[in-house]
Chains A and B, each alone.
Chain A
């Protein structure tokens, strides 16, 4: 019952392609976050006073106490770089021409971390360094996380 093939001619398989195109909406909370980022170049978060936490980006409920979060607050465009790493492999598993540096920063007033590109050369990056957000110009912003270019020093 076993089949043994000794040549790669006449291999019998049925080939096909499954259409799995999909559309993912960001949801009501992220809608506010991205609209404000795009139109005003401002970062918003959600405040839970019970837990004394400010979530960035905007969230619908607190993941600690499950309260509905209705208070939207702006957070600063400056912060502290908490961690960073060098990325040399792309999403397809290929080696990147130019490695990138990705880092996590806590913006002024935020409790959570924002992950984005670190624009300083990796040799100059330090945990605890001051960073500020650099945004794309208004005309190039489309309401996505890449409306932020990354973290620049200072």
Chain B
């Protein structure tokens, strides 16, 4: 099928480099500081200390991860902080051969949802699988967190480098 001819001027990167057309380049500074709130603030500071922190609601007996101050099922504030383990089970995963900015990867990144032991069933976080052959990765596989060294931890989810199979 013939491609539809669209009106307009087709331009390529080379045209900009050569100054073929007049162009205004702008790089506004879009810095932000997003307040974490009580729950995520505690979650991140516990990650810095090398712990994963959830929160329990007595009403429905769920331990939520990441923690939340409010239970959306019981419509009441949650009750207690609860440290959970740094082991879990793969719920789902993907082999990703491109980066976020569309560059090809030879070895895939493996994002996965990991259900974490100590939290309620189905409570999981999105993270990366690493330290193993991508072909080994299966739903249901038991994994444990590989933490960054203490002095490299900053209070971010990346304080866990990746999750790796428990042999």
A residues near B (Cβ < 8 Å) are 1, 3, 10, 12-26, 28, 30-31, 34-35, 143-144
Q: Which residue of B lies closest to A26 (CB)?
A: B22
Q: Count of B residues near A, CB < 8 Å? A: 30
Neighbour of A12 across the interface among B25, B27, B45, B70, CB < 8 A = B45
Q: Which residue of B lies closest to A13 (CB)?
A: B33
Neighbour of B70 across the interface among A1, A22, A144, CB < 8 A = A1
Q: Does B41 contact A (CB under 8 A)?
A: yes
Q: Which residues of B contact A16 (CB under 8 A)?
A: 31-32, 34
Q: Which of B44-58 contact A (CB under 8 A)?
A: 44-45
Q: Does B105 contact A (CB under 8 A)?
A: no
Q: Which residue of A lies closest to B70 (CB)?
A: A1
Q: Which of B120-160 contact A (CB under 8 A)?
A: 155-156
Whether the Cβ atoms of A23 and B24 lie closer than 8 Å is yes
Whether the Cβ atoms of A12 and B44 lie closer than 8 Å is yes
- Jot down 19 A-B pairs with beta carbons below 8 A, ordered by A: A3-B38, A3-B41, A12-B35, A12-B40, A12-B41, A13-B33, A14-B34, A16-B32, A16-B34, A18-B32, A20-B27, A21-B25, A21-B26, A23-B24, A24-B24, A25-B11, A25-B22, A26-B22, A31-B22
B residues near A (Cβ < 8 Å) are 9, 11, 16, 21-38, 40-41, 44-45, 69-70, 77, 155-156
Main secondary structure of the interface of B (DSSP, over half): mixed
Known contacts A1-B77, A3-B38, A28-B9: A15-B31 contact under CB 8 Å: yes
CA distance A142 to B40 in the complex (A): 51
Whether the Cβ atoms of B36 and A14 lie closer than 8 Å is yes
Shortest distance in angstroms between B94's beta carbon and chain A's nearest beta carbon? 24
Known contacts A3-B37, A12-B41, A14-B36: A25-B77 contact under CB 8 Å: no
Shortest distance in angstroms between A13's beta carbon and chain B's nearest beta carbon? 4
Q: Which residues of A contact B22 (CB under 8 A)?
A: 25-26, 30-31, 34-35, 143-144
CA distance A10 to B48 in the complex (A): 13
Whether the Cβ atoms of B35 and A13 lie closer than 8 Å is yes
Whether the Cβ atoms of B33 and A14 lie closer than 8 Å is yes
Neighbour of B23 across the interface among A17, A19, A21, A25, CB < 8 A = A25
Shortest distance in angstroms between B6's beta carbon and chain A's nearest beta carbon? 14
Shortest distance in angstroms between A25's beta carbon and chain B's nearest beta carbon? 5
Whether the Cβ atoms of B28 and A20 lie closer than 8 Å is yes
Having A1-B70, A15-B31, A21-B26, one finds 20 other A-B pairs with CB under 8 Å, namely: A3-B41, A12-B44, A12-B155, A14-B44, A15-B34, A17-B29, A17-B30, A18-B30, A19-B30, A20-B30, A21-B27, A22-B26, A23-B25, A24-B23, A24-B24, A26-B24, A30-B22, A34-B22, A143-B22, A144-B22
Q: Which residues of A contact B9 (CB under 8 A)?
A: 28
CA distance A117 to B21 in the complex (A): 26
Whether the Cβ atoms of A17 and B31 lie closer than 8 Å is yes
CA distance A146 to B6 in the complex (A): 33
